[in-house]
Chain A
Amino acid sequence: MNLVWLQSGGCGGCTMSLLCSEARDLFGLLDDAGIRVQWHPSLSEHTAQEALRVLEDCASGAMPLDLLCVEGALLRGPNGTGRFHMLSGTGKPMIEWVCGLAARSRYTLAIGSCAAYGGITAAGVNPTSACGLQYDGDARGGLLGSSYRSDAGLSVINVAGCPTHPGWITDTLLALSLGSLTEADLDPVGRPRFYADQLVHHGCPRNEYYEFKASAEKPSDQGCMMENMGCKGTQAHADCNTRLWNGAGSCVRGGYACISCTEPGFEDPGHPFASTPKIAGIPIGLPSDMPKAWFVALAALSKSATPRRVRENATADHTVVAPALRKTRLK
Chain B
Amino acid sequence: VTRLVVGPFNRVEGDLEVTLDIADGVVQAAYANSPLFRGFEQILQGKDPLDALVFVPRVCGICSVSQSCAAAAALADANGVVLPPNGQLATALILANENLADHLSHFYLFFMPDFAREAYCGRPWFEHALRRFEAMQGEAAREVLPARAAFLELMGFLAGKWPHTLAIQPGGSSRPVTASEKIRVYALLRQFRGFLESVLFGDSLEAVAALDSEAALRAWRDARPVQAGDFRFFLHVAEDLALERLGRATDVFLSYGNYALPEGKLFGAGVWDGAVHPLQPDAIAEDLSHAWMAGEPAVQRPQEGMTLPDMDKPGAYSWCKAPRWNGRVCETGALARQVVHGHPLVRALVAEQGGNVCNRVIARLLELALVVPEMEKWVQALRIGEPFCSHAPMPPQARGVGLVESARGALGHWLDVHGGRIRNYQIVAPTTWNFSPRDRDGVPGALEQALVGAPVGDGEETPLAVQHIVRSFDPCMVCTVH
Residues on A facing B (Cβ under 8 Å) = 7-17, 19-22, 24-28, 37, 39-52, 75, 78, 83-90, 120-121, 123-128, 130, 162-163, 218-220, 222, 244-257, 259, 261, 272-274, 317-318
Contacts and interface: CB of A to CB of B under 8 A. Distances in A.
A43 B60 contact: no
Interface stretch (B110-118, B207-215, B328-336, B442-450): B110-118
Contacts of A249: 155-157, 159-161
Interface stretch (B31-39, B401-409, B411-419): B31-39
Contact of A272 (B5, B35, B50): B50
A47 B171 CA distance: 43
A215 B358 CA distance: 54
Nearest to A27: B136
Contacts of A87: 7-8, 15, 35
Given A47-B11, A128-B39, A88 B136 contact: no
Given A7-B15, A124-B43, A78 B311 contact: yes
A51 to B, nearest CB: 6
B61 A43 contact: no
B303 interface: no
B54 A259 contact: yes
B10 A125 contact: no
Interface stretch (B141-149, B258-266, B282-290): B141-149
B156 A246 contact: yes
A83 to B, nearest CB: 6
A121 B47 CA distance: 15
What size tier do the contact residues of chain B reach?
35 or more
A149 B465 CA distance: 43
A274 B33 CA distance: 37
Given A84-B36, A88-B16, A253-B160, A50 B462 contact: yes
Nearest to A30: B136
Interface string B109-134: 11001101100000000000000001
12 contacts: A16-B162, A42-B10, A43-B135, A75-B36, A125-B39, A220-B172, A220-B173, A249-B161, A254-B159, A273-B53, A274-B166, A317-B387
B431 interface: no
Interface string B159-194: 111111111010111111010000000000000000
A251 B309 contact: no
A88 B166 contact: no
Given A120-B58, A163-B61, A47 B113 contact: no
Interface of B: 5-11, 13-17, 33, 35-39, 42-48, 50-51, 53-55, 58-62, 64, 105, 109-110, 113-114, 116-117, 134-137, 141-142, 145-146, 148-150, 152-167, 169, 171-176, 178, 309, 311, 384-385, 387-389, 391, 461-462, 467, 478
A304 B415 CA distance: 43
Given A14-B61, A37-B136, A42 B13 contact: yes
A120 B55 contact: yes
Given A13-B64, A20-B152, A163-B61, A248 B157 contact: yes
Contact of B7 (A26, A28, A89): A89
B59 A220 contact: no
Contacts of B11: 41-44, 47
A218 B391 contact: yes
Nearest to A84: B37
A125 B10 CA distance: 30
Contact of B5 (A89, A162, A254): A89
Nearest to B135: A45
Given A85-B36, A163-B61, A251-B166, A244 B105 contact: no
Given A163-B163, A220-B175, A257-B166, A127 B14 contact: no
A210 B480 CA distance: 42
Q: In terms of DSSP, what is the predominant structure of the interface of chain A?
A: loop
Contact of B60 (A12, A14, A46, A222): A12
B417 to A, nearest CB: 13
B411 to A, nearest CB: 14
Given A13-B164, A88-B7, A47 B136 contact: no
B288 to A, nearest CB: 17
Nearest to B62: A16
B461 A48 contact: yes
Most buried by B among A7, A12, A274: A12
A293 to B, nearest CB: 31
Contact of B105 (A19, A46, A47, A261): A19
A128 B37 contact: yes
State the 7 A-B residue pairs at the shortest beta-carbon distance, nearest first.
A254-B160, A13-B61, A89-B7, A88-B7, A88-B17, A127-B39, A255-B174
A20 B161 CA distance: 10
Most buried by A among B37, B61, B105: B61
B389 A220 contact: yes
A285 to B, nearest CB: 17
Contact of A48 (B9, B62, B156, B169): B9
A27 B15 contact: no
B42 A124 contact: yes
B475 to A, nearest CB: 12
B137 A250 contact: no
Given A87-B8, A256-B166, A318-B384, A162 B160 contact: no
B162 A246 contact: yes
Contact of B44 (A46, A124, A128, A274): A124
B389 A219 contact: yes
A269 B17 CA distance: 36
A183 B124 CA distance: 53
